[in-house]
Structure 1
Amino acid sequence: MSDDRRYDTVFWDIGGVIVELASVREGYAAFVAELADEHQLDAQSALDDWKSALGEHFRGREGTEYRTASEGYRKATAALFDGDPPEGWRATFDRCTAATLRAEDGAIETIETLSDAGIEQAIVSDIDTHEAENMLDSFGIRECFAHVTTSEAVGHTKPDERMFQDALDATQADPERTVMVGDRHSHDVAGASALGIAAAGYGEEGWGPEADHELETLRELLAVVGVSD
Protein backbone atom coordinates (compact mmCIF):
# COMPACT_ATOMS: atom_id res chain seq x y z
CA MET A 1 0.00 0.00 0.00
CA SER A 2 1.31 3.42 -0.97
CA ASP A 3 1.79 5.85 1.91
CA ASP A 4 0.05 8.62 -0.04
CA ARG A 5 -3.20 6.70 -0.41
CA ARG A 6 -6.01 8.31 1.52
CA TYR A 7 -8.41 5.34 1.31
CA ASP A 8 -8.09 1.56 1.16
CA THR A 9 -11.72 0.80 0.30
CA VAL A 10 -14.27 2.33 -2.07
CA PHE A 11 -18.02 1.74 -1.79
CA TRP A 12 -20.01 2.39 -4.98
CA ASP A 13 -23.65 3.14 -5.69
CA ILE A 14 -24.86 1.66 -9.00
CA GLY A 15 -27.69 3.72 -10.50
CA GLY A 16 -26.47 7.12 -11.65
CA VAL A 17 -22.87 6.29 -10.70
CA ILE A 18 -21.83 3.07 -12.43
CA VAL A 19 -24.94 2.76 -14.64
CA GLU A 20 -26.22 5.67 -16.71
CA LEU A 21 -29.82 6.18 -15.62
CA ALA A 22 -30.89 7.39 -19.06
CA SER A 23 -29.95 4.00 -20.48
CA VAL A 24 -32.17 2.27 -17.93
CA ARG A 25 -35.12 4.47 -18.88
CA GLU A 26 -34.46 3.73 -22.55
CA GLY A 27 -34.70 0.03 -21.76
CA TYR A 28 -38.04 0.52 -20.03
CA ALA A 29 -39.36 2.42 -23.06
CA ALA A 30 -38.12 -0.25 -25.48
CA PHE A 31 -39.78 -2.97 -23.42
CA VAL A 32 -43.15 -1.22 -23.28
CA ALA A 33 -42.95 -0.32 -26.97
CA GLU A 34 -42.45 -3.97 -27.87
CA LEU A 35 -45.41 -5.03 -25.72
CA ALA A 36 -47.54 -2.27 -27.19
CA ASP A 37 -46.73 -3.37 -30.72
CA GLU A 38 -47.44 -7.01 -29.95
CA HIS A 39 -50.74 -6.34 -28.16
CA GLN A 40 -52.03 -3.37 -30.20
CA LEU A 41 -51.65 -0.79 -27.41
CA ASP A 42 -50.92 2.89 -27.82
CA ALA A 43 -47.18 3.04 -27.11
CA GLN A 44 -47.06 6.44 -25.39
CA SER A 45 -50.12 5.82 -23.23
CA ALA A 46 -48.78 2.40 -22.28
CA LEU A 47 -45.43 3.86 -21.28
CA ASP A 48 -47.10 6.59 -19.20
CA ASP A 49 -49.29 4.01 -17.44
CA TRP A 50 -46.36 1.64 -16.90
CA LYS A 51 -44.18 4.33 -15.32
CA SER A 52 -47.06 5.56 -13.17
CA ALA A 53 -47.69 2.07 -11.79
CA LEU A 54 -43.99 1.54 -11.12
CA GLY A 55 -43.75 4.86 -9.28
CA GLU A 56 -46.80 4.00 -7.20
CA HIS A 57 -45.16 0.71 -6.20
CA PHE A 58 -42.09 2.44 -4.83
CA ARG A 59 -43.99 5.32 -3.21
CA GLY A 60 -45.98 2.78 -1.21
CA ARG A 61 -43.06 1.78 0.98
CA GLU A 62 -42.76 2.92 4.59
CA GLY A 63 -39.61 4.78 5.59
CA THR A 64 -36.54 2.95 4.36
CA GLU A 65 -38.39 -0.34 3.87
CA TYR A 66 -37.43 -1.82 0.50
CA ARG A 67 -39.88 -2.88 -2.17
CA THR A 68 -38.25 -4.96 -4.87
CA ALA A 69 -37.95 -3.60 -8.38
CA SER A 70 -38.84 -7.04 -9.72
CA GLU A 71 -42.27 -6.87 -8.12
CA GLY A 72 -42.66 -3.30 -9.34
CA TYR A 73 -41.95 -4.33 -12.92
CA ARG A 74 -44.53 -7.12 -12.63
CA LYS A 75 -47.17 -4.78 -11.23
CA ALA A 76 -46.46 -2.11 -13.85
CA THR A 77 -46.71 -4.62 -16.69
CA ALA A 78 -49.86 -6.20 -15.27
CA ALA A 79 -51.44 -2.74 -15.11
CA LEU A 80 -51.37 -2.57 -18.92
CA PHE A 81 -53.49 -5.70 -19.17
CA ASP A 82 -55.92 -5.30 -16.25
CA GLY A 83 -54.59 -8.44 -14.63
CA ASP A 84 -51.61 -10.70 -15.03
CA PRO A 85 -48.77 -9.70 -17.36
CA PRO A 86 -48.55 -11.68 -20.61
CA GLU A 87 -46.56 -14.88 -20.80
CA GLY A 88 -42.85 -14.33 -21.38
CA TRP A 89 -42.93 -10.68 -20.35
CA ARG A 90 -39.91 -10.97 -18.05
CA ALA A 91 -37.67 -12.42 -20.75
CA THR A 92 -38.67 -9.54 -23.03
CA PHE A 93 -37.98 -7.05 -20.24
CA ASP A 94 -34.53 -8.49 -19.53
CA ARG A 95 -33.60 -8.51 -23.22
CA CYS A 96 -34.75 -4.93 -23.85
CA THR A 97 -33.10 -3.46 -20.77
CA ALA A 98 -29.83 -5.31 -21.35
CA ALA A 99 -29.67 -4.00 -24.92
CA THR A 100 -29.74 -0.33 -23.86
CA LEU A 101 -27.61 -0.53 -20.71
CA ARG A 102 -24.65 1.87 -20.65
CA ALA A 103 -22.08 2.73 -18.02
CA GLU A 104 -21.49 6.25 -16.75
CA ASP A 105 -18.57 7.94 -18.46
CA GLY A 106 -15.31 6.84 -16.83
CA ALA A 107 -16.94 4.33 -14.48
CA ILE A 108 -15.48 1.13 -15.89
CA GLU A 109 -11.99 2.54 -16.36
CA THR A 110 -11.95 3.99 -12.84
CA ILE A 111 -13.14 0.75 -11.25
CA GLU A 112 -10.59 -1.30 -13.16
CA THR A 113 -7.75 1.10 -12.30
CA LEU A 114 -8.62 0.97 -8.60
CA SER A 115 -8.82 -2.83 -8.76
CA ASP A 116 -5.43 -3.06 -10.47
CA ALA A 117 -4.00 -0.83 -7.74
CA GLY A 118 -5.23 -3.19 -5.02
CA ILE A 119 -8.02 -0.97 -3.71
CA GLU A 120 -10.86 -3.00 -2.21
CA GLN A 121 -14.25 -2.15 -3.70
CA ALA A 122 -17.84 -3.00 -2.78
CA ILE A 123 -21.35 -2.09 -3.90
CA VAL A 124 -23.90 -0.34 -1.64
CA SER A 125 -27.00 0.17 -3.77
CA ASP A 126 -30.78 0.41 -3.55
CA ILE A 127 -31.38 -2.37 -6.07
CA ASP A 128 -32.45 -5.99 -6.43
CA THR A 129 -29.56 -8.42 -6.02
CA HIS A 130 -30.12 -10.23 -9.33
CA GLU A 131 -30.26 -6.91 -11.19
CA ALA A 132 -27.07 -5.65 -9.55
CA GLU A 133 -25.16 -8.83 -10.36
CA ASN A 134 -26.37 -8.78 -13.97
CA MET A 135 -25.33 -5.17 -14.46
CA LEU A 136 -21.84 -5.73 -13.08
CA ASP A 137 -21.45 -8.90 -15.13
CA SER A 138 -22.58 -7.14 -18.30
CA PHE A 139 -19.78 -4.59 -17.90
CA GLY A 140 -17.22 -7.28 -17.07
CA ILE A 141 -16.39 -5.78 -13.66
CA ARG A 142 -18.03 -8.16 -11.16
CA GLU A 143 -14.66 -9.56 -10.11
CA CYS A 144 -13.52 -6.05 -9.13
CA PHE A 145 -15.90 -6.08 -6.16
CA ALA A 146 -15.29 -7.95 -2.93
CA HIS A 147 -18.93 -7.67 -1.87
CA VAL A 148 -22.32 -6.51 -3.18
CA THR A 149 -24.73 -5.00 -0.65
CA THR A 150 -28.24 -4.52 -2.03
CA SER A 151 -31.42 -3.19 -0.51
CA GLU A 152 -33.15 -6.42 -1.43
CA ALA A 153 -30.70 -8.39 0.73
CA VAL A 154 -30.76 -5.94 3.64
CA GLY A 155 -34.46 -5.08 3.41
CA HIS A 156 -33.90 -1.33 3.62
CA THR A 157 -32.76 1.55 1.45
CA LYS A 158 -30.10 4.15 2.05
CA PRO A 159 -29.58 6.23 4.14
CA ASP A 160 -30.44 3.44 6.60
CA GLU A 161 -27.21 2.63 8.41
CA ARG A 162 -27.79 -1.11 7.94
CA MET A 163 -26.90 -0.74 4.27
CA PHE A 164 -23.47 0.70 5.00
CA GLN A 165 -22.87 -1.50 8.02
CA ASP A 166 -23.49 -4.61 5.93
CA ALA A 167 -20.74 -3.58 3.54
CA LEU A 168 -18.38 -2.67 6.38
CA ASP A 169 -18.97 -6.01 8.08
CA ALA A 170 -18.52 -7.99 4.87
CA THR A 171 -15.28 -6.26 3.87
CA GLN A 172 -13.95 -5.62 7.40
CA ALA A 173 -13.12 -2.14 6.13
CA ASP A 174 -12.05 0.70 8.40
CA PRO A 175 -14.67 3.49 8.02
CA GLU A 176 -11.96 6.13 8.30
CA ARG A 177 -10.15 4.55 5.35
CA THR A 178 -13.29 4.07 3.25
CA VAL A 179 -15.02 6.41 0.81
CA MET A 180 -18.56 6.06 -0.54
CA VAL A 181 -19.28 7.29 -4.08
CA GLY A 182 -22.89 8.30 -4.69
CA ASP A 183 -25.03 10.69 -6.69
CA ARG A 184 -27.68 11.48 -4.06
CA HIS A 185 -26.67 13.59 -1.09
CA SER A 186 -29.51 12.62 1.24
CA HIS A 187 -29.06 8.90 0.60
CA ASP A 188 -25.46 8.09 -0.29
CA VAL A 189 -23.48 10.97 1.15
CA ALA A 190 -25.36 11.72 4.38
CA GLY A 191 -25.91 8.02 5.05
CA ALA A 192 -22.23 7.16 4.74
CA SER A 193 -21.14 10.20 6.72
CA ALA A 194 -23.36 9.19 9.66
CA LEU A 195 -21.24 6.05 10.09
CA GLY A 196 -17.93 7.86 9.81
CA ILE A 197 -17.38 6.85 6.19
CA ALA A 198 -15.98 9.54 3.93
CA ALA A 199 -18.31 10.51 1.09
CA ALA A 200 -17.65 11.58 -2.49
CA GLY A 201 -20.68 13.19 -4.12
CA TYR A 202 -20.79 12.54 -7.86
CA GLY A 203 -22.62 15.33 -9.66
CA GLU A 204 -24.36 18.31 -8.15
CA GLU A 205 -27.15 16.27 -6.54
CA GLY A 206 -24.49 14.47 -4.52
CA TRP A 207 -22.79 17.63 -3.30
CA GLY A 208 -23.56 19.13 0.08
CA PRO A 209 -22.28 19.73 3.62
CA GLU A 210 -21.54 16.06 4.38
CA ALA A 211 -19.57 15.50 1.19
CA ASP A 212 -15.84 15.21 1.85
CA HIS A 213 -15.21 15.31 -1.89
CA GLU A 214 -17.21 16.67 -4.81
CA LEU A 215 -16.68 14.89 -8.13
CA GLU A 216 -17.56 16.29 -11.52
CA THR A 217 -16.14 13.19 -13.24
CA LEU A 218 -15.55 9.71 -11.91
CA ARG A 219 -11.91 9.79 -12.99
CA GLU A 220 -11.35 12.42 -10.29
CA LEU A 221 -11.89 9.64 -7.75
CA LEU A 222 -8.44 8.24 -8.51
CA ALA A 223 -6.76 11.37 -7.16
CA VAL A 224 -9.12 11.39 -4.17
CA VAL A 225 -8.09 7.84 -3.27
CA GLY A 226 -4.45 8.46 -4.11
CA VAL A 227 -4.06 6.17 -7.14
CA SER A 228 -2.24 7.20 -10.28
CA ASP A 229 -4.23 7.08 -13.52
Structure 2
Amino acid sequence: MTRRTLAVDVGGVLYYDEPFDLAWLQGVWELTRADDPAFTMDAFLQAVRDFYQGRASGSPPPSLFPPNGTKSWQGVRERWTSLVQPVPGAVDALSHLAEEYDVCIVANQPPECLAALRTLGIEQQVQLVALDSLVGYAKPDPRLFKWAMDQLNWKPEHTIVIGDRPDHDAAPALALGCSAAIVHVDSGWRVPAGVAPEIVTAYRELKIQRVHTTEGSTRHWAIAALGDLADVLRTISHQERSPRPRQEVHP
Protein backbone atom coordinates (compact mmCIF):
# COMPACT_ATOMS: atom_id res chain seq x y z
CA MET A 1 0.00 0.00 0.00
CA THR A 2 1.19 3.51 -0.79
CA ARG A 3 2.65 5.34 2.21
CA ARG A 4 0.87 8.63 2.94
CA THR A 5 2.86 11.82 3.39
CA LEU A 6 1.68 14.78 5.48
CA ALA A 7 2.50 18.49 5.08
CA VAL A 8 1.47 20.22 8.32
CA ASP A 9 0.97 23.94 8.98
CA VAL A 10 2.06 25.61 12.23
CA GLY A 11 -0.08 28.65 13.09
CA GLY A 12 -3.64 27.63 13.92
CA VAL A 13 -2.67 23.94 13.86
CA LEU A 14 0.26 23.39 16.23
CA TYR A 15 0.18 26.68 18.11
CA TYR A 16 -2.22 29.60 18.26
CA ASP A 17 -1.76 32.63 15.99
CA GLU A 18 -3.70 35.02 18.20
CA PRO A 19 -1.07 35.80 20.88
CA PHE A 20 1.32 37.03 18.18
CA ASP A 21 -1.36 39.19 16.56
CA LEU A 22 -2.34 40.77 19.86
CA ALA A 23 1.24 41.43 20.95
CA TRP A 24 1.87 43.04 17.57
CA LEU A 25 -1.21 45.27 17.79
CA GLN A 26 -0.33 46.38 21.31
CA GLY A 27 3.17 47.31 20.13
CA VAL A 28 1.81 49.31 17.19
CA TRP A 29 -0.53 51.17 19.55
CA GLU A 30 2.24 52.02 22.00
CA LEU A 31 4.63 53.23 19.29
CA THR A 32 1.95 55.29 17.56
CA ARG A 33 0.80 56.81 20.84
CA ALA A 34 4.42 57.74 21.66
CA ASP A 35 4.64 59.57 18.34
CA ASP A 36 1.33 61.37 18.89
CA PRO A 37 0.07 61.51 22.50
CA ALA A 38 -3.21 63.01 21.27
CA PHE A 39 -3.97 59.95 19.15
CA THR A 40 -7.04 58.12 20.48
CA MET A 41 -7.76 54.46 21.01
CA ASP A 42 -10.96 54.83 18.95
CA ALA A 43 -8.96 56.06 15.97
CA PHE A 44 -6.48 53.23 16.37
CA LEU A 45 -9.20 50.57 16.54
CA GLN A 46 -10.82 51.93 13.39
CA ALA A 47 -7.48 51.64 11.60
CA VAL A 48 -7.16 48.07 12.86
CA ARG A 49 -10.64 47.22 11.53
CA ASP A 50 -9.78 48.71 8.14
CA PHE A 51 -6.56 46.72 8.07
CA TYR A 52 -8.08 43.32 8.82
CA GLN A 53 -11.26 43.84 6.81
CA GLY A 54 -9.16 44.86 3.82
CA ARG A 55 -7.15 41.65 4.08
CA ALA A 56 -10.26 39.51 4.46
CA SER A 57 -12.00 41.05 1.45
CA GLY A 58 -9.12 40.20 -0.84
CA SER A 59 -8.43 43.83 -1.68
CA PRO A 60 -4.91 45.20 -1.17
CA PRO A 61 -4.50 45.49 2.62
CA PRO A 62 -3.86 48.96 4.00
CA SER A 63 -0.72 49.62 5.95
CA LEU A 64 -1.01 49.83 9.70
CA PHE A 65 0.95 52.88 10.81
CA PRO A 66 4.27 52.38 8.99
CA PRO A 67 7.00 52.18 10.14
CA ASN A 68 5.53 51.35 13.56
CA GLY A 69 3.93 48.18 12.24
CA THR A 70 7.33 46.92 11.14
CA LYS A 71 9.01 47.97 14.41
CA SER A 72 6.35 46.22 16.47
CA TRP A 73 6.65 43.03 14.41
CA GLN A 74 10.38 42.98 15.02
CA GLY A 75 9.66 43.16 18.74
CA VAL A 76 7.24 40.25 18.45
CA ARG A 77 9.86 38.20 16.62
CA GLU A 78 12.33 38.85 19.44
CA ARG A 79 9.76 37.42 21.88
CA TRP A 80 8.56 34.64 19.59
CA THR A 81 9.26 31.56 21.69
CA SER A 82 7.83 33.16 24.83
CA LEU A 83 4.59 33.97 22.98
CA VAL A 84 4.06 30.41 21.73
CA GLN A 85 0.91 28.77 23.08
CA PRO A 86 0.59 25.20 21.76
CA VAL A 87 -2.87 24.02 20.76
CA PRO A 88 -3.81 21.41 23.41
CA GLY A 89 -2.96 17.92 22.21
CA ALA A 90 -1.46 19.07 18.90
CA VAL A 91 2.19 18.30 19.66
CA ASP A 92 1.34 14.81 20.92
CA ALA A 93 -0.85 14.22 17.88
CA LEU A 94 1.99 15.17 15.57
CA SER A 95 4.30 12.78 17.41
CA HIS A 96 1.86 9.91 16.90
CA LEU A 97 1.39 10.76 13.23
CA ALA A 98 5.16 10.94 12.68
CA GLU A 99 5.49 7.37 13.97
CA GLU A 100 3.29 6.08 11.16
CA TYR A 101 3.63 8.62 8.34
CA ASP A 102 6.28 10.79 6.69
CA VAL A 103 5.69 14.34 7.96
CA CYS A 104 7.03 17.77 7.06
CA ILE A 105 6.19 21.32 8.14
CA VAL A 106 5.07 23.87 5.53
CA ALA A 107 4.13 27.26 6.98
CA ASN A 108 4.13 31.02 6.63
CA GLN A 109 6.25 31.78 9.67
CA PRO A 110 9.32 33.90 10.51
CA PRO A 111 12.70 32.21 11.01
CA GLU A 112 12.16 32.32 14.78
CA CYS A 113 9.59 29.55 14.30
CA LEU A 114 12.50 27.10 13.99
CA ALA A 115 13.53 27.71 17.60
CA ALA A 116 9.92 27.29 18.73
CA LEU A 117 9.58 23.98 16.88
CA ARG A 118 12.85 22.82 18.40
CA THR A 119 11.67 23.75 21.90
CA LEU A 120 8.41 21.87 21.37
CA GLY A 121 10.30 18.81 20.12
CA ILE A 122 8.69 19.02 16.69
CA GLU A 123 11.72 19.79 14.52
CA GLN A 124 13.33 16.49 15.52
CA GLN A 125 10.28 14.47 14.42
CA VAL A 126 9.72 15.81 10.91
CA GLN A 127 11.69 15.31 7.73
CA LEU A 128 11.73 18.95 6.65
CA VAL A 129 10.71 22.40 7.85
CA ALA A 130 9.75 24.69 4.94
CA LEU A 131 9.05 28.28 6.04
CA ASP A 132 8.12 31.00 3.58
CA SER A 133 10.63 33.36 5.22
CA LEU A 134 13.46 30.95 4.36
CA VAL A 135 12.28 29.39 1.10
CA GLY A 136 11.12 32.56 -0.67
CA TYR A 137 7.57 31.47 -1.53
CA ALA A 138 4.57 32.19 0.70
CA LYS A 139 1.15 30.58 0.85
CA PRO A 140 -1.20 30.69 -0.96
CA ASP A 141 1.48 30.33 -3.64
CA PRO A 142 1.52 26.57 -4.41
CA ARG A 143 5.26 26.77 -5.02
CA LEU A 144 5.93 26.62 -1.28
CA PHE A 145 4.26 23.21 -1.10
CA LYS A 146 5.86 22.08 -4.35
CA TRP A 147 9.31 23.11 -3.12
CA ALA A 148 8.89 20.99 0.02
CA MET A 149 7.61 17.98 -1.90
CA ASP A 150 10.42 18.25 -4.43
CA GLN A 151 13.01 18.21 -1.63
CA LEU A 152 11.48 15.02 -0.24
CA ASN A 153 10.55 13.37 -3.54
CA TRP A 154 6.92 13.23 -2.43
CA LYS A 155 4.09 12.74 -4.90
CA PRO A 156 1.11 15.14 -4.63
CA GLU A 157 -1.42 12.33 -5.02
CA HIS A 158 -0.01 10.70 -1.88
CA THR A 159 0.24 13.93 0.16
CA ILE A 160 -2.30 15.48 2.51
CA VAL A 161 -1.89 19.16 3.41
CA ILE A 162 -3.12 20.07 6.89
CA GLY A 163 -3.73 23.75 7.58
CA ASP A 164 -6.20 26.17 9.09
CA ARG A 165 -7.31 28.19 6.05
CA PRO A 166 -9.19 26.96 2.98
CA ASP A 167 -7.77 29.80 0.87
CA HIS A 168 -4.13 29.52 2.00
CA ASP A 169 -3.89 25.77 2.52
CA ALA A 170 -6.64 23.74 0.85
CA ALA A 171 -6.83 25.71 -2.41
CA PRO A 172 -3.11 25.51 -3.33
CA ALA A 173 -2.95 21.90 -2.12
CA LEU A 174 -5.77 20.82 -4.40
CA ALA A 175 -4.28 22.81 -7.28
CA LEU A 176 -1.18 20.64 -6.99
CA GLY A 177 -3.15 17.41 -6.81
CA CYS A 178 -2.82 16.92 -3.05
CA SER A 179 -5.63 16.26 -0.60
CA ALA A 180 -6.36 18.75 2.18
CA ALA A 181 -7.69 18.84 5.73
CA ILE A 182 -8.58 22.09 7.50
CA VAL A 183 -8.32 22.30 11.29
CA HIS A 184 -10.79 24.47 13.20
CA VAL A 185 -9.15 24.77 16.61
CA ASP A 186 -10.86 26.07 19.71
CA SER A 187 -10.37 29.56 21.10
CA GLY A 188 -8.43 28.44 24.15
CA TRP A 189 -5.59 30.92 23.67
CA ARG A 190 -4.63 33.36 26.42
CA VAL A 191 -4.17 37.09 25.98
CA PRO A 192 -0.49 38.09 26.35
CA ALA A 193 0.27 40.30 29.33
CA GLY A 194 -0.06 44.01 28.79
CA VAL A 195 -2.53 44.05 25.88
CA ALA A 196 -5.24 46.71 26.27
CA PRO A 197 -8.73 45.24 26.80
CA GLU A 198 -10.14 47.45 24.02
CA ILE A 199 -7.70 45.89 21.54
CA VAL A 200 -8.64 42.39 22.68
CA THR A 201 -12.37 43.07 22.27
CA ALA A 202 -11.97 44.53 18.79
CA TYR A 203 -9.67 41.70 17.76
CA ARG A 204 -12.11 39.01 18.92
CA GLU A 205 -14.88 40.64 16.87
CA LEU A 206 -12.67 40.81 13.80
CA LYS A 207 -11.56 37.22 14.31
CA ILE A 208 -15.17 36.04 14.14
CA GLN A 209 -15.69 38.02 10.93
CA ARG A 210 -12.54 36.55 9.36
CA VAL A 211 -13.68 33.00 10.08
CA HIS A 212 -16.78 33.62 7.97
CA THR A 213 -15.08 35.51 5.14
CA THR A 214 -12.18 33.10 4.59
CA GLU A 215 -14.36 30.02 4.19
CA GLY A 216 -14.36 29.04 0.55
CA SER A 217 -16.02 26.35 -1.52
CA THR A 218 -12.78 24.36 -1.76
CA ARG A 219 -13.31 20.64 -1.10
CA HIS A 220 -11.45 19.43 1.96
CA TRP A 221 -11.87 17.48 5.16
CA ALA A 222 -12.83 19.58 8.18
CA ILE A 223 -11.43 18.46 11.52
CA ALA A 224 -11.59 19.96 15.01
CA ALA A 225 -7.98 19.19 15.96
CA LEU A 226 -4.86 17.63 14.52
CA GLY A 227 -5.53 14.45 16.47
CA ASP A 228 -8.69 13.91 14.42
CA LEU A 229 -6.60 13.49 11.29
CA ALA A 230 -5.94 9.89 12.29
CA ASP A 231 -9.63 9.12 11.69
CA VAL A 232 -9.44 10.69 8.22
CA LEU A 233 -6.36 8.64 7.38
CA ARG A 234 -8.02 5.44 8.56
CA THR A 235 -11.01 6.22 6.35
CA ILE A 236 -8.74 6.74 3.34
CA SER A 237 -6.86 3.54 4.09
CA HIS A 238 -10.10 1.60 4.37
CA GLN A 239 -11.33 2.99 1.05
CA GLU A 240 -8.07 2.00 -0.63
CA ARG A 241 -8.26 -1.55 0.75
CA SER A 242 -11.92 -2.06 -0.10
CA PRO A 243 -12.42 -3.80 -3.45
CA ARG A 244 -14.16 -1.72 -6.05
CA PRO A 245 -17.57 -3.01 -7.09
CA ARG A 246 -17.52 -4.94 -10.31
CA GLN A 247 -19.12 -3.18 -13.23
CA GLU A 248 -21.73 -5.16 -15.09
CA VAL A 249 -21.34 -5.21 -18.83
CA HIS A 250 -24.55 -5.52 -20.79
CA PRO A 251 -24.59 -6.57 -24.41
Same-fold call, TM > 0.5? yes
Task: Give the one of 84, 106, 126 matched to 1:101.
Answer: 84
Residue 78 of structure 1: CA displacement?
4.0
Q: Size of the alignment, in residue pairs?
A: 203
User: Which amino acid is 1:159 matched to?
Assistant: P
User: Which amino acid is 1:104 matched to?
Assistant: V
SS at match of 2:226: coil
Q: Which residue in the other structure is 1:119 paired with?
A: 101
Residue 194 of structure 1: CA displacement?
1.0
Alpha-carbon separation, structure 1, partners of 2:65 and 2:102:
37
Task: Give the one of 67, 70, 79 matched to 2:68.
Answer: 79
Alpha-carbon separation, structure 2, partners of 1:164 and 1:177:
13
Alpha-carbon separation, structure 1, partners of 2:114 and 2:136:
17
| Structure 1 spans left out of the alignment, 5+ residues | 64-71
Query: Contact 2:32–2:68 (CA<8 Å) still a contact in 1?
Result: no
- Structure 1 residues 97 and 51 mapped into 2: Cα distance closer, same or farther (>3 Å)? farther
Residue 217 of structure 1: CA displacement?
2.1
Query: Contact 1:31–1:96 (CA<8 Å) still a contact in 2?
Result: no
- Structure 1 residues 49 and 95 mapped into 2: Cα distance closer, same or farther (>3 Å)? farther
Residue 200 of structure 1: CA displacement?
0.6
Q: Which residue in the other structure is 1:174 paired with?
A: 155
Please list the CA deviations of residues 159-210 of structure 1 after superposition, one character each: whole Å capped at 9, or x if unmatched.
3221111011111112222100011112210100111111112227567442
Query: Contact 2:167–2:216 (CA<8 Å) still a contact in 1?
Result: no
User: Which amino acid is 2:84 matched to?
Assistant: L
Task: Give the one of 229, 232, 239 matched to 1:221.
Answer: 229
User: Which amino acid is 1:25 matched to?
Assistant: D
- Structure 1 residues 179 and 34 mapped into 2: Cα distance closer, same or farther (>3 Å)? same
Confirm or deny that 1:27 pairs with 2:16.
Answer: no
- Structure 1 residues 196 and 93 mapped into 2: Cα distance closer, same or farther (>3 Å)? closer
Please list the CA deviations of residues 47-86 of structure 1 after superposition, one character each: whole Å capped at 9, or x if unmatched.
769969x97xx99xx99xxxxxxxx9xx968438xxx96x
| Structure 2 spans left out of the alignment, 5+ residues | 185-210, 236-251
SS at match of 1:193: helix
- Alpha-carbon RMSD across the aligned residues, in angstroms, is 4.1
Q: Which residue in the other structure is 2:121 paired with?
A: 140
Residue 123 of structure 1: CA displacement?
1.6
